[in-house]
Chain A
């Protein structure tokens, strides 16, 4: 097998926020061409870990190494801009460093958002905003895509499309993907590696391995046992309760 490029190396990271230990010795890696998903209950530190990787969250111990000159594309969980700022989608995309109109057109049609170009950014729905942020990441030749709960606020069909788009982008560009998700079943066909987090790493592996692991089961099974969602129709309640 060819040696894959290591993009992110998180080693024994410890973070305390307001005297609560949010991350307690977390280690994980992301390689190029790999889709890595973080799952875990609310307050498990998924977003904190993501933000630490992005350099938006400080940590007390451990280390986070990024590949030299790594170009990161970030799709935040929430993205709202001030209503006083007039900004069309087109102008926003052209704010990307070294933006070219031809690249913007390619990226926008790849995410199927051509019709949004002349709309004010404030009038886009959550799912539309996500597509635009995604397009922005594509325009920048992103080597690592980081997404925080990209499926939130998007309907089932939209979630599926988004994951397909992710996988397709990975196949085409060979970028690595690090994402927070709340649904293991949704990730099944797409993720290469899943890290189940609850302050520490409960278990990690392929989605199938994680599903079978007792660490994951002890975290999620009580709820899944009572609600019992089939894989095709995952429920948010199953994980977020």
Chain B
């Protein structure tokens, strides 16, 4: 196997693992739009990075973190505009401006697709290092914060009364999302990064009875999607992001459908039993 393919697999699996864990929280806390807004904003990081001569991962992370802080601050002061509108505003505003700025940059123009949809062929050793460091930091942070974060997710006021530092954990979690998006952007692309967060988690919801199992299953489904997607992407020469997301969507439909069938069968069995009794 050529080395660049190995790099793609390793990087993709790394992103999928951490995206599964964090993505479950994104689903539980209904923050899909928030992560969408941040993911789209990474496109602004590309011209910024090129302009400042920074590493593109780093500049994407920078913009992501900056926007996360901005969105949290807006969220507090929102007044009359509903939250999902604000997220939409940020998501599409940054996407539009990012695309505009990119269109002015001659050299980048051709690579636009790669930023939007991911580019596995371009996963470098420094990208891998970025995924690795980011992944380790995120896993460690999540490990430490798991219980309080879960309690906040269950009920914020109950958590507050029980002495959990709610504000601090909320901030930390939003910054963690920013980090995972910046890490995954190179592989899945800015447009589809949110899908890697929420689709495996949504699939796992049908087959998990506890939050821990759902997070673990989401990570697993994410890995399967990444491996399947990257393989398909190389076989048919398709962009990696859409391929990965398509496999994840397939996994979701499969789980959902089998779950549906099982529950209707159970329901039918129930009526039979009733009739026999009568």
Binding site for B on A (CB under 8 A): 54-56, 72, 74, 76, 79, 81-82, 84-88, 91-92, 95-97, 120, 133, 140, 146
Contacts and interface: CB of A to CB of B under 8 A. Distances in A.
Interface in B47-67: none
A97 B150 CA distance: 12
Contacts, number: 62
B28 A85 contact: yes
Interface stretch (B5-13, B126-134, B154-162, B261-269): B154-162
Nearest to B209: A86
What 8 A-B pairs come out closest when comparing CB atoms? A74-B161, A85-B28, A91-B210, A86-B208, A84-B27, A54-B161, A86-B214, A81-B154
B151 interface: yes
Contacts of A54: 157, 160-161
Nearest to B154: A81
Given A86-B214, A91-B211, 9 more contacts: A72-B162, A82-B29, A82-B153, A87-B154, A87-B210, A88-B210, A92-B154, A95-B147, A97-B162
Contact of B209 (A82, A84, A88, A95): A88
B202 to A, nearest CB: 8
B205 interface: yes
Contact of B162 (A82, A86, A91, A140): A140
B38 to A, nearest CB: 20
Interface residues of B, number: 25
B30 interface: yes
Nearest to B214: A86
B177 to A, nearest CB: 16
Most interface-central of B27, B154, B163 (chain A CB within 10 A): B154
A95 B150 contact: yes
Given A54-B161, A55-B160, A86 B213 contact: yes
A85 B30 CA distance: 11
A204 B189 CA distance: 64
19 contacts: A54-B157, A54-B160, A55-B160, A56-B161, A72-B161, A72-B162, A74-B158, A76-B155, A76-B158, A82-B29, A84-B28, A84-B30, A85-B28, A85-B154, A86-B211, A86-B213, A88-B210, A91-B211, A97-B147
Contacts of A79: 155, 158
Nearest to B198: A84
Nearest to A96: B162
A56 B157 CA distance: 7
A88 B214 CA distance: 12
Most interface-central of B151, B157, B208 (chain A CB within 10 A): B157
